[in-house]
């Protein structure tokens, strides 16, 4: 069964994976057995009751109580087993242990924000400790998203204007990919993040030092890293290519026409407003899909992004 899991499923890296995989294999094996039995019956009866001569007449068979009860009861039993098994797994998935470490997750088009109890906010990077339950309390700032980590066998819709939650306990250190499993717009396929599972000691160290590595960086270098780290390059290219938003190349100092006809010069005030209140002014020809980074980026980080934009001429 382990080899079958390795062949058909991603690595099992959480305590929830074994039960989920067992149900998956039960459904597959049962389906294969039924398929083989039905296929054999079709072939056998096709051969046994084939027409041997022109005088053969098919007898009139009204019904068979035993057969009808059998083919009704057996699928009913199988369906009830799958339902009970799946419902139990769902309850386990939504009922986090009391000692869980809580992380706020915010889905935006097209990135994931993770808010920690220390006040630190990471974008597209979920850092968690190994061998400790982690509860994710999730919401969306715009449209429906779905938080999915295949390695942990956890998936839950992330909805606007309400909270959903899911939990997991990683059983080994390493990295795992996070996907959005609900179509959420043009850049849906780029809404990827990474889970970093640390030892308990390394996780505590990361919490204490998160963000401090940026303090001594050159503003331009920091701005370039922030553009990548915060998924700005998902919608804004740096080579002039048109994506969901205006390209950063040649943006600084240029004059841009807004949807209401206003002409705006791209300066510090415009960039800051675009980051914190992206829908206040919309460039003509583009849709208002950019999420706000208010509470995510500090003043120093916004200044660093501005310095980086100045270099993209």
What are the pLDDT digits (tens) for 22-66? 999 999 999 999 999 999 999 998 888 887 777 777 777 788 888
Instruction: Give Cβ neighbours of residue 187 (< 8 Å, ≥ 6 apart).
Output: 109, 110, 234, 235, 243, 244
pLDDT of residue 212: 64
Is 218:225 a contact under the CB 8 Å cutoff?
Answer: no
pLDDT-derived band at 233, boundaries 50, 70, 90: confident
pLDDT band at 146, cuts 50/70/90?
Answer: very high
Residues 23 and 80 in one domain: yes
Residue 223 domain flag: yes
Confidence band of 107 (pLDDT split at 50, 70, 90): very high
Give 237's pLDDT tier (boundaries 50, 70, 90).
confident
Burial bucket for residue 188 (CB in 10 Å: 0-12, 13-18, 19+): middle
Kindly report the CATH number assigned to the domain that includes residue 87.
Answer: 1.10.287.90
**Which residue range is the domain that position 81 belongs to?**
2-48+62-94
Structure tokens at 85: 């098994």
Give residue 82's pLDDT.
94
Residues 190 and 265 in one domain: no
Instruction: Tell me the per-residue pLDDT of 114-137, one tens digit each, with 9 for 90 and over.
Output: 999 888 888 899 999 999 999 999
Tell me if residue 123 falls in helix, strand or coil: strand
Helix (H) or strand (E) holding 36: helix 17-48
Specify the number of domains making up the chain.
3
> What backbone phi and psi angles, to 5 degrees, belong to 67?
-65, -45
From residue 300, alpha-carbon distances to 149, 195, 305 in Å are 33, 26, 9
Strands 121-123 vs 174-180: parallel, antiparallel or unpaired: unpaired
Number of H helices, E strands in the chain: 7, 12
Q: Are strands 193-198 and 125-129 parallel, antiparallel or unpaired?
A: parallel
For 301, the enclosing helix (H) or strand (E) is: helix 299-310
**pLDDT tens per residue across span 178-210:** 999 999 888 898 899 999 999 999 999 988 887
Q: Please check whether residues 206 and 283 belong to one and the same domain.
A: no
Question: What is the pLDDT at residue 87?
Answer: 93
Q: What is the pTM of this model?
A: 0.75
Which of helix, strand or coil describes residue 155? strand
Strand partners, 166: 136
pLDDT of residue 141: 87
């Amino acid at each position: 069964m382990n080899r079958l899991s390795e062949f058909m499923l991603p690595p099992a890296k959480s305590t929830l994976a074994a039960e989920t995989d067992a149900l998956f294999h039960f459904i597959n094996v049962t389906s294969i057995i039924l398929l083989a039995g039905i296929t054999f019956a079709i072939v056998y009866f096709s051969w046994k009751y084939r027409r041997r001569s022109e005088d053969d007449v098919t007898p009139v068979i009204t019904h068979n109580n035993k057969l009808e009860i059998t083919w009704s009861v057996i699928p009913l039993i199988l369906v009830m087993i799958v339902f009970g098994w799946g419902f139990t797994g769902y309850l386990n998935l939504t009922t986090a242990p009391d000692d869980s470490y809580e992380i706020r997750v915010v889905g935006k088009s097209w990135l994931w924000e993770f808010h920690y109890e220390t006040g630190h906010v990471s974008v597209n990077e979920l850092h968690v400790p190994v061998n400790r339950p982690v509860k994710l309390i999730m919401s969306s700032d715009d449209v429906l998203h779905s938080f999915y980590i295949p390695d942990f066998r956890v998936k839950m819709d992330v909805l606007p204007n309400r909270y959903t939650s899911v939990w997991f306990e990683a059983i080994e250190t390493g990295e795992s990919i996070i996907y959005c499993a609900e179509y959420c717009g043009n850049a849906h396929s780029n809404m990827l993040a990474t889970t970093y599972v640390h030892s308990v000691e390394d996780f505590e160290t990361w919490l204490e030092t998160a963000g401090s590595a940026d303090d001594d960086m050159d503003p331009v270098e920091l701005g370039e890293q922030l553009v990548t780290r915060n998924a700005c390059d998902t919608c804004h290219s740096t080579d002039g290519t048109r994506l969901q938003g205006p390209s950063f190349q040649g943006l600084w100092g240029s004059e841009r026409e807004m949807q209401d006809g206003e002409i705006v010069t791209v300066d510090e005030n415009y960039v800051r407003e675009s980051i914190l209140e992206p829908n206040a002014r919309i460039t003509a020809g583009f849709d208002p899909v950019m999420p706000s980074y208010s509470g995510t980026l500090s003043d120093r980080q916004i200044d660093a992004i501005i310095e980086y934009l100045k270099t993209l001429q």
